[in-house]
Chain A
Amino acid sequence: MTEADILHWIRDTSLGVAVRQSRWMFATGETLHFLGLSLLVGGILIVDLRLLGFLRRISMRSALSFLPFVIIGFVINLLTGILFFAADPMMYWPNPAFKLKMFLILLAGINALLFTLFKHKEALALGDDDQATTFMKVSAGLSLSFWLVVLLLGRLLPAFEGSTSFL
């Protein structure tokens, strides 16, 4: 199976056909994608800003309690993203903004995974005024940067339609 075969297969799945034929599925998906974005941004801001030392006098445990919103937002956007991709895989796949966006989501995921595996327990022990370690701060800074660029690339994606490289 070549790359083109796979893209054709995705385009012809019942999901792809349904999204293209429906008047409202794509627009509803976009609206949900914005809501998911807001949940992800709101939750990640609380966690990352606390790690960076901006929200003082809050225990890390209570800041981390907003993490489920990040996960819910991400899942909403993953599902609606699959819906968009199935509707027009030939537009998304070669689009440089799409490729970079997916790559940065992967990096954000690895960053979050490393934090969870190695620092989560240590972070939970941080009390009201405790500073996070440099490693945690770097991780939080990367997380905010990755998600900001992911958001920007998503919004710029249609402008890159038909192009194969940046600028």
Chain B
Amino acid sequence: MEFLAWLEQTEFSTWLRESDWAHPIVLCFHAVGMGLVVGISFMYCARVLGYAKSFPLAAFDQLFGLAWFGFAMNAASGIVLLMAEPRRMPATPAFVIKMVLIMFAGLSLWALSRALEGKRDELAGGVPAGAKTAAIASIVLWCGAIVAGRLIGYTIGPPPA
């Protein structure tokens, strides 16, 4: 707690909160990263659920590189946003819920890739039911993470005394 209070009053944290441009620019990175991670995940899940069966699942490998890039961008910009409000943010339920949902969204994509292992080359062939469940879970979890993320701004409280 003392560390968080110290972090909050560092020059960098103060600058993040008080500068006119720092916050919007960090949010820009966060929005682009979201588009890459969630957008590519949605398309992948749609494909797993049976959409565009002529599109080879293996072709997503190149897009995953881009999705990981987006994820790295959002981890970095997310840490910067957290550093701006190191005490208020962890005390906001929407923030904690968002982190948990992102963790489970990641896990669901990992489970999805496990379920598809060795079966990706069969094109129109049946995708295992487990993979479809993981795909639906991942869509729901990303939607939840976006809802929770948007709620942070509306529900963040005053700095704890």
Enumerate chain A interface residues (CB-CB to B < 8 A): 27, 30-31, 34-35, 37-43, 45-46, 49, 54-55, 57-59, 61-63, 65-66, 69, 148, 151-152, 154-156, 158-159
B133 vs chain A, min Cβ distance (A): 21
Nearest B residue to A29 via CB reads B150
CA distance A40 to B42 in the complex (A): 10
The answer to whether A57 touches B54 (Cβ under 8 A) is: no
Question: Given the complex of chains A and B, what is the CA–CA distance between A30 and B55 in angstroms?
Answer: 32
* Apart from the given pairs A59-B54, A151-B32, 13 other A-B contacts in the complex at a CB distance below 8 Å: A34-B31, A34-B149, A42-B39, A42-B41, A45-B39, A45-B43, A58-B55, A58-B56, A65-B51, A69-B46, A148-B32, A154-B31, A155-B27
Chain B 46-72 interface mask (CB, 8 Å, partner A; 1/0): 100001101110010011001000000
- Does B32 lie within 8 Å of A156, measured CB to CB? no
Shortest distance between the CB of A32 and any CB in chain B (Å): 9
| Closest chain A CB from B141 CB (angstroms) | 13
B2 on the interface (CB 8 Å rule)? Answer: no
Given A27-B154, A30-B150, A65-B54, verify A38-B28 contact (CB < 8 Å): no
Which residues of A sit under 8 angstroms from B142, Cβ to Cβ?
A: 38
Docked Cα-Cα span, A55 to B47, in Å, equals 16
Contact B32 A34 (CB under 8 A): no
Nearest residue in A to B39 (C-beta to C-beta)?
A: A42
* A42 near B54: Cβ-Cβ < 8 Å: no
Inter-chain contact A34/B146, CB cutoff 8 Å: yes
| Neighbouring A residues of B147 by C-beta, 8 Å | 31
- On chain B, the number of residues with a Cβ less than 8 Å from chain A's Cβ atoms is 35
A65, B43: Cβ atoms closer than 8 Å:
no
Asked if residues B28 and A62 are in contact (CB atoms below 8 Å), the reply is no
Contact flag A38-B42 (CB < 8 Å), given A65-B55, A152-B32: yes
Residue B90, interface by CB 8 Å: no
CA distance A101 to B20 in the complex (A): 20
Q: Kindly state the separation between the CA atoms of A158 and B38 in the bound complex, as whole angstroms.
A: 23
Q: Does the CB pair A159–B39 fall under 8 Å? A: no
Are A39 and B42 also in contact (CB < 8 A) when A31-B146, A159-B21 are? yes
Instruction: Give Cα A50 to B52, complex, Å.
Output: 15
Residues of B within 8 A of A58 (CB): 55-56, 59
A41–B34 CA distance with the chains assembled, in angstroms: 10
How far is it, in angstroms, between the C-alpha of A152 and the C-alpha of B31 when the chains are bound? 8
Q: Provide the B135-157 mask, 1 if CB < 8 A to any CB of A, else 0.
A: 00000001100110111001000
